[in-house]
Amino acid sequence: MDDHTIDRATVKRRRLEAAEEWSTLLGDTTACAIAKDGRSYPAGKFHEGRVAALGELLRRLDAESTEERIADAAAELRADWEHRPMPGAGESRDWQSYRAGGVQALGEFAVRGA
């Protein structure tokens, strides 16, 4: 991360960046269309996981959340994501990528003073 103060707006910006990267990867199709076709798309699932995890983090924060509170919430969520079974998906490559994206995104905020 940068040398700037980490606040809720920083988390929100990172989530928007992840959503933009996800959208760029998908191009003119949707994640649902890819899944319905039975195709694997780990790169897309990675960014989808980032968006989902940072959304969860945002829901745990308020405008007054300190850097320490953000780091603590991110560390708690990251530990949950590392062990959370992915719903209805088993351990496919796509869902491993989804989890990895979430864990990576939360890890960016889980370390104070990063």
Q: CA neighbours within 13 Å on the CB side: how many for 103?
A: 13
CA 34 to chain centre: 20
Phi, psi of 91 (to 5 degrees): -120, 45
Average pLDDT over residues 12-17: 96
For 37-92, what is each residue's pLDDT tens digit? 666 677 888 999 999 999 999 999 999 999 999 999 999 999 999 998 876 656 67
Q: Which residue has the tokens 């988390």?
A: 11
Q: To the nearest whole number, what is the mean pLDDT of the chain?
A: 85
Look at 104 and 89; give whichever has higher pLDDT: 104
